[in-house]
């Protein structure tokens, strides 16, 4: 994760990820973060929504997934 900011009002358990309205959220111990930019291992930096579009489990879906 290269860039993220607090996402007040988003309720997620720690270790969960949510794709909603082309926004990627990660649950943390003290709330949630909206991830805006990532750099996957061996790839260039990209917007989080572009990353989510390339992950089969997230592609075209809205929902919540466990990352643990």
In a domain, 32, yes or no: yes
Q: Tell me the pLDDT tens digit for each residue of 28-41.
A: 999 999 999 999 89
Nearest-angstrom CA–CA distance, 38 and 44: 9
Q: What is the total count of domains within the chain?
A: 1
In a domain, 64, yes or no: no
In a domain, 50, yes or no: yes
In a domain, 67, yes or no: no
In a domain, 37, yes or no: yes
* pTM confidence score: 0.76
In a domain, 29, yes or no: yes
What φ, ψ does residue 28 adopt, rounded to 5°?
A: -125, 170
* Torsion sign across C-alpha atoms 43, 44, 46, 48: positive
In a domain, 38, yes or no: yes
Domain of residue 49 covers 3-58
Q: Tell me the pLDDT tens digit for each residue of 8-62.
A: 999 888 988 888 877 889 999 999 999 999 998 999 999 998 887 777 666 655 5
The neighbouring-strand residues paired with 64 are 18
């Amino acid at each position: 994760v290269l860039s993220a900011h607090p996402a007040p009002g988003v309720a997620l358990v720690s270790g969960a990820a949510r794709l909603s309205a082309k926004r990627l959220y990660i649950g943390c111990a003290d709330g949630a973060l909206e991830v805006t930019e990532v750099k996957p291992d061996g790839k260039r930096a990209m917007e989080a929504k572009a990353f989510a579009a390339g992950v089969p489990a997230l592609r075209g879906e809205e929902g919540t997934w466990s990352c643990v």
